[in-house]
Amino acid sequence: MTLQEYITMQYGDDPYWFEAEVGAPYHALRINRCYNNAQYLKGAHKVTRREDMLYKGEAYQTKKTLINYVKTVLRFHDSYLLGKPVTYSGDEETIKTINDIVRLGGYDSIDYEILDRVLKFGDAFEVIYQEGGVIKSKILDCRDSYPIYYNGEYLGFIEHWTDAWSGIAYFNVYYPNYTENWCNDGGELHMYNNAINVCGLPIHWHNFNDEDYNFGKDLLSDLIPIMDDIEDAMSKLGDAVYTLSMNPIPVATGQRIDSSIPADAVGYVLNLDVGDFKYANAQMDYNTINLYLDNMKKWLSDVACFPSVFSSNGNVANVSEVSIRMLFHMASLLADENKKWLNRGYRERLNRLSMMLNMQGLGTIDNVEIIYNYNLPSATAETIANLHMLKGMGAISVETIIEKSDIIASKDVELERLKAEQKEAEAKMEKEMQVMNNNGGSEEGNKGKDQENADKKKVSK
């Protein structure tokens, strides 16, 4: 089905069909989830809605402990998989073209942003365009993005937002071959621009989702319920420590006490003729509290695929390469899953880039492999020893050794330096050979002259 057929079927060829499309319930549910996740990342946690209370006749502001631990988890997974940029393998000329596009278009940071958006919101949308002869990409806000699917087929795309200051609503409607820009400036919805779209629809990056195969599932939603419980427990524990342990309630029996003691005072003494005076405080069950919090942190690490040693749940000292990989095993499993849907997006992007290059007569991009470089702590000496052994076996190239080495910052710069050193060594060797040849020639010439002089002496005798 084409987008035009979809418009005819759903909206009867209404010219303002996109206005009704963005209000569809299935779009509203996803956009609402994106807004909720964005608000959570800004600090709007469930614990902030705890009610205050009266304590000793005065207003008491209950603890609202915010722990933005999920941001650390998300940054870890972003950096673990794409902290080191991906590399491309294939034909040398093709790879040179791709590396130029990646460098000029800043695609290393674009890739990182895509992974970050998917982990936070489940989806990311990339628009490829050309500006000043340079191929670039921009990532659209998930809260403004409305992809159109029908029976699993990607038909069109709408980018819609409302300006907060002017109240003007904007609609960027993407058809497969062109785009239309609409707004209601002046009170009436009208098209103010249209253009040919050679790059097609925005690329939809998303991970795997059992509920809806067309859209992704964010990791953030799995972590929020656990963090809500931890924050609630820590906030209530803080209130209990303050109100029940550090500031207990005085209880007097017998003689009535009409006066009061200042709350900030220390060291007051009461002399009672009859009765008793004591403080009522609660004995908190340390073992139960500790067991609950430890288990919550463990579950959080398991669900987040986060190495427990990073959350102070383990000790590490002088471990081998194998031990490090075991510590990061869960993180590697999640990274392997993320690679599957990232590869799908990379292939789509390379197809778009190939089409753009072909239109300019610059060739095409074929048979390119994406290589990921995990940002994994490593035992450097052990890694270098393994690379040296592979080189001795003739099973690895110098370029691959450079890629796998953490000591070398830039593969391209290092390869250029090696080429320059090799040229310098060849020039030096050639110069030495030339000197040797010149010296050898002069010695032979001298020997010939000596022999000629000896022959002349014999004749004269």
Q: Which two tokens stand for residue 262?
A: 């200042």
Dist CA 323 CA 28 (whole Å)? 46
Per DSSP, 56 falls in state T
Decide if 57 is inside a domain.
no
pLDDT score, position 461: 47
| 263 has pLDDT over 80 | no
Could you give the CA distance from residue 310 to residue 313 in angstroms, rounded to a whole number?
7
Are 197 and 178 in contact, with CB atoms under 8 Å apart? yes
E runs forming strands in 132-168? 134-140, 145-150, 153-162
Residue 234 lies in a domain: no
Are 126 and 114 in contact by the 8 Å Cβ rule? The answer is yes
Highest mean pLDDT among 148-157, 234-243, 259-268: 148-157
Comparing 268 with 354, the larger pLDDT belongs to 354
pLDDT at residue 443 tops 80: no
Q: Is it the case that residue 129 has pLDDT exceeding 60? A: yes
Span 87-106, mean pLDDT?
Answer: 89
What are all long-range contacts of 239-242, with beta carbons under 8 Å and residues at least 24 apart? 239/62, 239/63, 240/282, 240/284, 241/284, 242/63
Gap between the Cα atoms of 34 and 228, Å rounded: 18
> In total, how many domains does the chain have?
1
**How confident is the model at residue 446, as a pLDDT?**
56
Least confident span in 127-141, 246-260, 282-296: 246-260
**Tens of pLDDT, residues 371-385:** 998 887 766 666 777
The top-scoring range by mean pLDDT among 85-89, 345-349, 448-452 is: 345-349
Question: Which region among 123-127, 169-173, 201-205, 427-431 has the lowest average model confidence (pLDDT)?
Answer: 427-431
Sign of CA dihedral 436, 437, 441, 442: negative
DSSP-derived secondary structure letter, 247 = S
Element containing residue 336 per DSSP (H, E): helix 329-359
What is the extent of the structural domain holding 420?
Answer: 409-461
Q: Residue 276 pLDDT more than 50?
A: yes
Of residues 75, 85, 111, 83, the one with CA closest to residue 376: 83
Which of 79-88, 250-259, 299-308 has the highest mean predicted lDDT (pLDDT)?
79-88
Q: Over the stretch 288-344, which tens digit does the pLDDT of each residue have?
A: 778 877 888 887 887 878 776 665 555 555 556 666 777 788 888 999 999 999 999
Confidence at 12, pLDDT banded by 50, 70, 90: very high
Total-model pTM: 0.78
Asked whether the beta carbons of 55 and 193 are under 8 A apart, the reply is no
Q: Is residue 10 part of a domain?
A: no
Residue 423 in any domain: the answer is yes
- Res 419 pLDDT > 70: yes
| Of 245 and 50, more confident | 50
Helix, strand, coil in percent for the chain, rounding step 5: 50, 20, 30
Given CA atoms 336, 337, 342, 348 in this order, what sign does their dihedral have? positive
Per the CB < 8 A criterion, the answer to whether 155 and 2 are in contact is: yes
Location of structure tokens 């907060």? 164
| Cβ(127)–Cβ(138) below 8 Å | yes
Predicted confidence (pLDDT) per residue in 137-156, tens digit: 999 999 999 999 999 999 99
Residue 424 forms part of a structural domain: yes
- In single-letter form, the type of residue at position 289 comes to I
Residue 246 pLDDT greater than 90, yes or no = no
Q: Which string of b and e fits 437-446 if b means at least 16 CB within 10 Å?
A: eeeeeeeeee
Give the least confident one: 153-167, 205-219, 397-411: 397-411
Higher pLDDT, 44 or 401: 44
Whether residue 432 is contained in a domain is answered as yes
With helix as H, strand as E and coil as C, how does 49-105 read?
A: HCCCEEECCEEECCCCCCCCHHHHHHHHHHHHHHCEEEEEECCHHHHHHHHHHHHHH
Which range, 170-184, 266-280, 285-299, has the best average confidence (pLDDT)? 170-184
**pLDDT for res 445:** 54
283 vs 222, residue with greater confidence: 222
Q: What angle do CA 268, 273, 277 make, to 5 degrees?
A: 50
User: To which residue do tokens 């931890």 refer?
Assistant: 230
The DSSP result for 275-325, as a single string, is: EEEEEE-----HHHHHHHHHHHHHHHHHHHT--GGGGTSS---S--HHHHH
Rounded mean pLDDT, 265-291: 71
Q: State the pLDDT confidence band at 109, using cuts at 50, 70 and 90.
A: very high
**High-pLDDT (> 70) share of the chain, %:** 84
Indicate whether 429 belongs to any domain: yes
Average pLDDT value for the chain: 84
Residue 416 lies in a domain: yes
